[in-house]
Amino acid sequence: MSCNRYLAGGVAALITASTITACSHEIDVLGGKPVDPLFRTYVSMGNSITAGWQSDGINDSTQMQSYAVLLARAFNTSYRAAQINKPGCPPPLDNIITQHRVGGLTNQTCALRNPTSTPGSLNNVAVPGATSLSPTGTVPGPDTLTENVLTTLILGGETQAQRAAEAEPTFLSAWIGNNDVLNATLTGILPRTPGISNGVTSLEAFTTNYESLAQALKAIPSLKGGALIGVINTVNLPLLFPAAALYNPVVKAGFDAAAGTVTSIDPTTCPPTTTSLINFQLAGAIRSHTHPPTVFCEALSAPLQPLGNLYVLDATEQAAVTDTVTAYNAVISAEADSLGFAFLDPNPALVALKTSGSVPIFPNLTNPTSPFGQYFSLDGIHPAAAAHVLVANAVIDAINAKYGTSVPHTQ
Partner 1 sequence: MNFDRLSRCLMWAALVVPAAVEAQGFGLNEIGSCAVARGFAVTSVPCNDPSEIYWNPASTAGLQGLGLYVGAAAVKVNGGFYADSTGRRFAGDVPVKFPPHIFVNYTPRNSKWALGIGSYVPYGLVSKWKSNFPGRFESQYASLFSDYIQPNFAYRFAPGWSVGGGPVFGISNVELRQAVDLAVAPVPGGGGVTFGQLGIPSGTEFASADLKGSAHAWGFNVGIHGSVGANWQVGARYLSKMKFKYNDADVSFGQQQTNLVLAGSNPFGAPAGTPLDALLTPQFSPGATLGGGQHVNTEIDHPAQLQAGVGYTGFTNTTITVDYAWIDYKSFDRLNVNFVGPANEAGLSHTLIEDYKSSNAVRVGVEHAFAAGFRGRVGFDWIGSPAPDVTVTPLLPDMDRRNYTVGIGLPVGASYTLDAAYLHVDTDGRRGRLVPRTTGAPSATETADQLNSGFYTLNANVFSLSLKVNF
CA 233 to chain centroid, in Å, comes to 12
Residue number, 157 or 191, with CB nearest to partner 1: 157
What span, in angstroms and rounded, lies between the C-alpha atoms of 155 and 165?
Answer: 12
Pairing of strands 277-279, 240-242: antiparallel
Residue number, 3 or 302, with CB nearest to partner 1: 3
Residues 158-197 that bind partner 1 (CB under 8 A): 158, 163, 167-168
Question: Binding to partner 1 by residue 104, rule CB under 8 A?
Answer: no
Residues 269-288 that bind partner 1 (CB under 8 A): none
CA triple 81-113-384, angle to 5 deg:
55
Write out the E strands in 74-214. 93-95, 100-101, 171-175
Identified binder of partner 1 from the candidate list 19, 107, 152, 326, rule CB under 8 A:
152
N residues, the chain: 411
- Closest distance of CB 128 from partner 1, Å: 12
| Binding segment (CB under 8 A) for partner 1, from list 23-31, 45-53, 54-62, 356-364 | 23-31
| Binding segment (CB under 8 A) for partner 1, from list 93-101, 157-165, 351-359, 371-379 | 157-165
CA distances from 150 to 19, 90, 110 (A): 16, 10, 9
Question: Binding to partner 1 by residue 25, rule CB under 8 A?
Answer: yes
| Binding segment (CB under 8 A) for partner 1, from list 77-85, 98-106, 181-189, 400-408 | 77-85
Residue number, 155 or 227, with CB nearest to partner 1: 155
What span, in angstroms and rounded, lies between the C-alpha atoms of 76 and 96?
Answer: 36
Question: Binding to partner 1 by residue 122, rule CB under 8 A?
Answer: yes
CA 108 to chain centroid, in Å, comes to 19
Residue number, 70 or 110, with CB nearest to partner 1: 110
Identified binder of partner 1 from the candidate list 95, 106, 144, 338, rule CB under 8 A:
144
The enclosing H or E element of 365 equals none
What span, in angstroms and rounded, lies between the C-alpha atoms of 321 and 279?
Answer: 15
| Binding segment (CB under 8 A) for partner 1, from list 117-125, 228-236, 327-335, 350-358 | 117-125
Long-range contacts of 340-343 (CB under 8 A, 24+ apart): 340/225, 341/225, 341/226, 341/227, 341/228, 341/402, 342/225, 342/226, 342/227, 342/228, 342/395, 342/398, 342/399, 342/401, 342/402, 342/403, 343/227, 343/228, 343/229, 343/230, 343/398
Question: Binding to partner 1 by residue 2, rule CB under 8 A?
Answer: yes
Identified binder of partner 1 from the candidate list 59, 124, 151, 209, rule CB under 8 A:
151
Footprint of partner 1 (CB under 8 A): 1-4, 6-15, 20, 23, 25, 27, 29, 40-41, 78, 80, 82, 85, 110, 112-123, 139-140, 144, 147-149, 151-158, 163, 167-168
